[in-house]
């Protein structure tokens, strides 16, 4: 790469400095401002990191203006239409699409790590039955480091790889166990003769009382949903995983931190909020009222599933999910699904409204996903857990990439201080 620089001049002192520009293979380059403080005693200021690259990465590329999403260079549309979720997991983790032999070996590793230590099952008894599944996921995933000590030496590539396989393999088992706990039903063990998504749906809906056959429609739809949610560059939860990992925290604790961040309504928690919002709106007649509430600065209501920090065009995942919604509902003979009809009308009205057009607010990945989950029998409280299962591969891939990054150091942002300068301590009797 050619060594480009950017000249920066301090208007007060008149002094200038050439800041190095870090080139990219595609997408924006970045001005390396790490020397700014040393040269001028100045920080950069970018709350929410709107224009700040926190790292270099080769995993996922997003072009928000063009609505492009690629995993390791492969368009999301191709992967969604042609790949299995574990094939995409391998691609993200290792950077290449696997051959049949390699994929079979990878699938076998993930399948055989699906069990959780029997003692971990006791953790669920500590949760109230109406505990939110995400609260249980955070607690149990964070506890994995208390059991799997053979993956805590971060300097050993084999241990790091095993940690990644364990997290991807165990998230579905833990999520299904959390669901079973809310229903007071016995846990269902993962099966070695089932495919990843089939296994998950079996653990969710089977009971010891009878044979349960997973529907191929549900398995295919969930496989696609997991692929669409697998990774998304430096989003809030992935950045949380990276920041936690930068201090040398163990991978399970870092993933628990990522699950915590994902739970927020502005992030992965939005899929659950979209369903709640659609049910709250209730009918097409009320759409106008809620569009006006979303536009009212004094009203905290936001159109959930709309808007995105990066996509200023249609989220390519939302486009795919709208089609999948149609297909799944048709195959389930649920052609007049009121929630889907409402979502389509809401999208149509919002995208003609100046407020949304001006701010480039389009439906995002969360807008349609919940309608599909609901149609497949997934309860609303489990929607964000679905997101966490899929995103576990993205989190682990970024974790592995950062563990091997020679530039990696502890993340320690600075601030613009606006507090008191200096004050003298007053004895309590002298205070007003
Ligand atoms: C995900 O980062 C990722 O990649 C995330 C994700 C992933 O795969 O990891 O894609 C998954 O989290 C998708 C987003 C799910 N969240 C929601 O659907 C919640 C609703 N959306 C918003 O809260 C919001 O759009 C965000 C959080 C998604 C983005 O917030 P930004 O980039 O900080 O945008 P902003 O809040 O500065 O909004 C810009 C303007 C503001 O109006 P003005 O002050 O300019 O007048 O747009 C308005 C906002 O008020 N706005 C909305 C809105 N989203 C933004 N107004 C009404 N409804 C909305 N949904």
Q: Does residue 1 have a pLDDT over 80?
A: no
User: Counting every residue, how long is the chain?
Assistant: 432
- Res. 3: pLDDT tops 80: no
User: Chain-wide mean pLDDT for the chain?
Assistant: 96
- The CA 251 to ligand 1 mean position distance, Å, reads 29
Q: Is the CB of 390 under 6 A from ligand 1?
A: no
Helices and strands (DSSP H and E) totals, the chain: 18, 6
Q: Report how far apart, in Å, the C-alpha atoms of 317 and of each of 197, 240, 311, 326, 368 are.
A: 19, 23, 11, 14, 9
Residue with tokens 């696609």: 224
Which atom of ligand 1 is nearest to 367's Cα? Answer: 18
Q: What is the pLDDT of residue 146?
A: 96
Alpha helices in 52-149, H assignment, sequence order: 76-82, 85-94, 100-112, 121-125, 133-142
| Ramachandran angles phi, psi of 274, nearest 5° | -65, -45
Cβ partners under 8 Å of residue 297, min gap 6:
none
Cβ contact 118:372 at 8 Å:
no
Residue 297's CB is within 10 A of a number of other CB atoms, namely 5
Rounded to 5 degrees, what angle do the CA atoms 34, 40, 43 make? 50
Q: What angle do CA 24, 395, 74 make, to 5 degrees?
A: 50
Which helix (H) or strand (E) element contains residue 114? none
Residue 10 vs residue 250, higher pLDDT? 250
Kindly report, residue by residue over 376-421, the tens digit of the pLDDT.
999 999 999 999 999 999 999 999 999 999 999 999 999 999 999 9
Q: Give residue 343's Cα distance to chain centre.
A: 22
Average pLDDT over residues 350-374: 95
Ligand 1, atom 2, lies closest to the CA of 235
| Ligand 1 midpoint to CA 165 (Å) | 32
CA distance 274 to 234: 23
**pLDDT tier at 93, thresholds 50, 70, 90:** very high
In this predicted structure, the answer to whether residue 19 has a pLDDT above a threshold of 70 is yes
As a whole number of angstroms, the distance between CA 224 and CA 202 comes to 17
- The residue whose CB lies within 8 Å of the most ligand 1 atoms, and thus the one to mutate among 242, 299, 307, is 307
Atom of ligand 1 nearest to the CA of 306: 60
Q: Cα separation of 223 and 239, whole Å?
A: 25
Three-state secondary-structure class, residue 380: helix
Q: Are 196 and 117 in contact (CB under 8 A)?
A: no
Q: What is the pLDDT of residue 336?
A: 85
- Residue 382, number of CB atoms within 10 A of its CB: 23
When pLDDT is cut at 50, 70 and 90, the band that residue 333 belongs to is confident
Which residues does the annotation mark as catalytic? 308, 366
Give the pLDDT confidence score for residue 346 in this predicted structure: 95
pLDDT tens for 211-229 read 999 999 999 999 999 999 9
Residue 427 tokens read as 């004895």
Q: Which atom of ligand 1 is nearest to the CA of 50?
A: 32
When pLDDT is cut at 50, 70 and 90, the band that residue 422 belongs to is very high
| Three-state SS at 84 | coil
> How far does residue 302's CA lie from ligand 1's centre (Å)?
9
Kindly give the interhelix angle for 365-375 and 270-281, rounded to the nearest 10 degrees.
80
Does the Cβ of 145 fall within 6 Å of ligand 1?
no
Is 155 exposed, middle or buried, given 0-12, 13-18 or 19+ CB atoms closer than 10 A? exposed
Chain centroid, CA 392 distance in Å? 8
Whose CA is closest to atom 13 on ligand 1?
267
State whether residue 333 is helix, strand or coil. Answer: coil
The per-residue pLDDT for range 260-318, each reduced to its tens digit, is 999 999 999 999 999 999 999 999 999 999 999 999 999 999 999 999 999 999 999 99
The average pLDDT across 108-122 equals: 97
C-alpha to C-alpha distances, 326 to 37, 82, 163, 316, 369, nearest whole angstrom: 54, 19, 38, 16, 12
Query: How is the chain split among helix, strand and coil, in percent rounded to 5?
Result: 55, 5, 40
Tokens coding 421 = 């300068």
CA distance 323 to 325: 5
């Amino acid at each position: 790469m050619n060594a480009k620089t950017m000249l920066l001049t301090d208007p007060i002192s008149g002094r200038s400095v050439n800041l190095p520009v870090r080139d990219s293979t595609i997408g924006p380059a970045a001005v390396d401002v790490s020397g700014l403080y040393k040269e001028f005693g100045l920080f950069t200021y970018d709350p929410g990191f709107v224009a700040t690259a926190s790292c270099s990465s080769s995993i996922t590329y997003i072009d928000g203006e063009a609505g492009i999403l690629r995993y390791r260079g492969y368009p999301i549309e191709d992967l969604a239409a042609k790949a299995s979720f574990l094939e995409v997991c391998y691609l993200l983790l290792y950077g290449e699409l696997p051959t049949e032999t390699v994929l079979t070996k990878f699938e076998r590793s993930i399948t055989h790590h699906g069990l959780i230590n029997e003692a971990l099952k006791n953790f669920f008894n500590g949760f109230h039955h109406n505990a939110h599944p995400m609260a249980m996921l955070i607690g149990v995933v964070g506890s994995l480091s208390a059991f799997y000590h053979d993956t805590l030496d971060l300097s050993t590539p084999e241990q790091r790889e095993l940690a990644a396989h364990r997290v991807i393999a165990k998230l579905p088992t833990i999520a299904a166990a959390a669901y079973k706990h809310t229903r007071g039903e016995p846990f269902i063990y993962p099966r070695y003769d089932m495919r990843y998504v089939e296994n998950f749906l079996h653990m969710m809906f089977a009971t010891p009382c009878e044979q349960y056959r997973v529907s191929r429609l549900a398995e295919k739809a969930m496989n696609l949903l997991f692929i669409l949610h697998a990774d998304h560059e430096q989003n809030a939860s992935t950045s949380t995983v990276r920041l936690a990992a930068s201090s040398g925290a163990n991978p399970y604790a870092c993933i628990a931190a990522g699950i915590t961040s994902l739970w927020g309504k502005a992030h992965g928690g939005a899929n659950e909020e979209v369903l709640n919002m659609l049910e709250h709106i209730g009918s097409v007649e009320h759409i106008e009222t809620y569009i006006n509430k979303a536009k009212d600065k004094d009203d905290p209501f936001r159109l959930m599933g709309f808007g995105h920090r990066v996509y200023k065009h249609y989220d390519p995942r939302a486009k795919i999910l709208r089609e999948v919604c149609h297909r799944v509902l048709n195959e389930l003979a649920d052609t007049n699904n009121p929630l889907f009809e409402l979502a389509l009308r809401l999208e149509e009205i919002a995208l003609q409204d100046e407020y949304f057009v001006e701010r480039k607010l389009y439906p995002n990945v969360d807008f349609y996903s919940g309608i599909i989950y609901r149609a497949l029998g997934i309860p609303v409280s489990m929607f964000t857990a679905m997101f966490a299962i899929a995103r576990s591969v993205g989190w682990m891939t970024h974790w592995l990439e950062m563990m091997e990054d020679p530039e990696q150091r502890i993340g320690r942002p600075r601030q613009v201080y606006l507090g008191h300068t200096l004050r003298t301590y007053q004895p309590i009797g002298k205070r007003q």
